Amino acid sequence: MAYQLYRNTTLGNSLQESLDELIQGSLNTYRFCDNVWTFVLNDVEFREVTDLVKVDKVKIVACDGKNTGSNAPE
Amino acid sequence: MEQNNSLPPFPQGLASPQGAMTPGLPIFSPMMPYGTGLTPQPVQNTNSLSLLEEQQRHGMVGGSGQTPQLYHSQVSTTTALPGNTPLYNTPLTPMTPITPATPASESSGIVPQLQNIVSTVNLGCKLDLKTIALRARNAEYNPKRFAAVIMRIREPRTTALIFSSGKMVCTGAKSEEQSRLAARKYARVVQKLGFPAKFLDFKIQNMVGSCDVKFPIRLEGLVLTHQQFSSYEPELFPGLIYRMIKPRIVLLIFVSGKVVLTGAKVRGEIYEAFENIYPILKGFRKTT
């Protein structure tokens, strides 16, 4: 299930969802390379119980949390 | 399209009486409709509609026991021919010569909408996918899973698979021009990253269209009469898969009346396939 995206890709039918819906249109760019995701979002509100932070631009860099990513090249 | 100017003897026999009624009016005017939505009879019709047309075009029509399937049995329904006086019970004519298949009296009035175009192009140079993934926006590259960069652009909203050989697949466009334009935009992105990208052999590989006939369909009946072309396994997939021979298009036909057409290299094949299937579907309209 984790690799559904690529299953579709090998069929040549990639989905548009990441552009269409993700993050309700705030997504500016995304990148995935070396198992690292990088997102740039615009006009974002970070809401916590008491605080509200609004930013024009935020860059998110995300790596695999647990040991789910294998480092051995296939 | 060959117009059969030599009329088979049978219909020609009919021509005289009518000729007498409507002086000088050829009965076999191309306007003469023939056959709208009549269910292809299983008995004589072991072929798909398209094949039947082929037979007719070769003048095979009118075998003794064969009711001319695609003909109107009532002249009175023909409004296309001016001066056509109704009444004659003999099966109407027109044999064949006219453009096969599409009942001239009415096209379906429904135009399938293109939903997806898949095309390929050769950028003509080797590419370093990691460089592209790191420097281009909206790109994904996971070589462990798939050996290509997956890049997307917003306008036209498409996705491209870019391979290290320099070849590229572009999917998601809604028209041929959009697909070409999108492919050019991807090529430009690659070019701006420093690769000597060209735009060689752009070719549309597949086109997908869809439409709605607006009435429910008896898929079970359709698979019985068109078993050479249909495959319907409701436990596997709710749609009937109809593999039309001419044009070579695959249709997914659903009980709701929605139809998906795929496998086309040009837009016209989608339209042609739908015009071919529409009368057949009308014959299997659910009446309850």
Domain identity same for B135 and B197: yes
Select from A3, A20, A32 the Cβ nearest to the Cβ of B140: A32
Domain identity same for B225 and B163: no
Please report, for residues B203, B206, B242, B259, the alpha-carbon distance to residue B266 in angstroms, rounded to integers and kept in the order given. Answer: 11, 8, 19, 18
3-class DSSP state for residue B152? strand
Give the pLDDT band of residue B104 (cuts 50, 70, 90).
Answer: low
Domain identity same for B185 and B254: no
pLDDT at B87 over 70: no
Q: Closest residue of B to A30, CA-based?
A: B138
Mind listing the pLDDT tens digit for each residue in B56-65?
445 444 444 4
ipTM: 0.72
Give the pLDDT band of residue B22 (cuts 50, 70, 90).
Answer: very low
Q: What is the CATH number of the domain that holds B278?
A: 3.30.310.10
Q: Which residue has the higher pLDDT, A37 or B52?
A: A37
Of B204, B232, B249, the position where a domain reaches its end is: B204
Structural domain boundaries, residue B170 = 119-204
**What is the average per-residue pLDDT within B42-65?**
44
Cβ distance of A30 and B138 shorter than 8 Å: yes
In a domain, B70, yes or no: no
Select from B138, B148, B161 the Cβ nearest to the Cβ of A29: B138
In a domain, B171, yes or no: yes
Q: Which of B86-100, B127-141, B154-168, B234-248 has the lowest mean pLDDT?
A: B86-100
Share of chain B above pLDDT 90, in %: 62
Domain identity same for B225 and B197: no
pLDDT at B283 over 50: yes
Helical packing angle, B267-283 and B49-57, nearest 10°:
100
Q: Is B150 on the interface with A (CB under 8 A)?
A: yes
Task: Name chain B contacts of A15, Cβ cutoff 8 Å.
Answer: 159
Of B149, B170, B204, the position where a domain reaches its end is: B204
Of B228, B233, B279, give the one whose Cα is nearest residue B102. Answer: B279
Distance between CA atoms of residues B277 and B49, nearest Å: 8
In a domain, B112, yes or no: no
Domain identity same for B182 and B130: yes
Tokens of B171: 């999917």
Distance between CA atoms of residues B211 and B258, nearest Å: 6
Task: State how far residue A74 is from chain B, nearest Cα, in angstroms.
Answer: 6
Distance between CA atoms of residues B98 and B222, nearest Å: 26
Cβ distance of A14 and B161 shorter than 8 Å: yes
Tokens of B224: 């019985």
Domain identity same for B154 and B175: yes
For residue A50, what are the contacts with CB-CB under 8 A and spacing of at least 6?
Answer: none
Per DSSP, B285 falls in state B
Mind listing the pLDDT tens digit for each residue in B204-219?
999 999 999 999 999 9
The residue assigned the tokens 């996918």 is: B129
In a domain, B96, yes or no: no
Tokens of A60: 């998110």
What are chain A's domains? 1-63 (2.30.18.10)
Task: Please say whether the beta carbons of B44 and B88 come within 8 A.
Answer: no
Task: State how far residue B211 is from chain A, nearest Cα, in angstroms.
Answer: 20
Select from A9, A19, A31 the Cβ nearest to the Cβ of B146: A9
Of B160, B185, B204, the position where a domain reaches its end is: B204
In a domain, B66, yes or no: no
Per DSSP, B175 falls in state S
Which one of B138, B170, B186 makes the best mutation probe of the A interface by having the most chain A beta carbons within 10 Å?
A: B138
pLDDT at A17: 59
Q: Closest residue of A to B133, CA-based?
A: A33
In a domain, B9, yes or no: no
In a domain, B123, yes or no: yes
Task: Name chain B contacts of A12, Cβ cutoff 8 Å.
Answer: 118, 161, 169, 171
Mind listing the pLDDT tens digit for each residue in A22-63?
667 799 999 999 999 999 999 999 999 999 999 999 999 999
pLDDT at B226: 97
The pTM for the full model equals: 0.67
Q: Half-sphere exposure (CA, 13 Å, Cβ side) for B85?
A: 9
**What is the average per-residue pLDDT within B1-30?**
43
In a domain, B166, yes or no: yes
Q: How buried is A56 (Cβ within 10 angstroms: 0-12 exposed, 13-18 middle, 19+ buried)?
A: exposed
Domain count, chain B: 2
Task: Please say whether the beta carbons of B153 and B136 come within 8 A.
Answer: no
Cβ distance of B172 and A16 shorter than 8 Å: yes
Domain identity same for B135 and B191: yes
Q: How buried is B239 (Cβ within 10 angstroms: 0-12 exposed, 13-18 middle, 19+ buried)?
A: buried
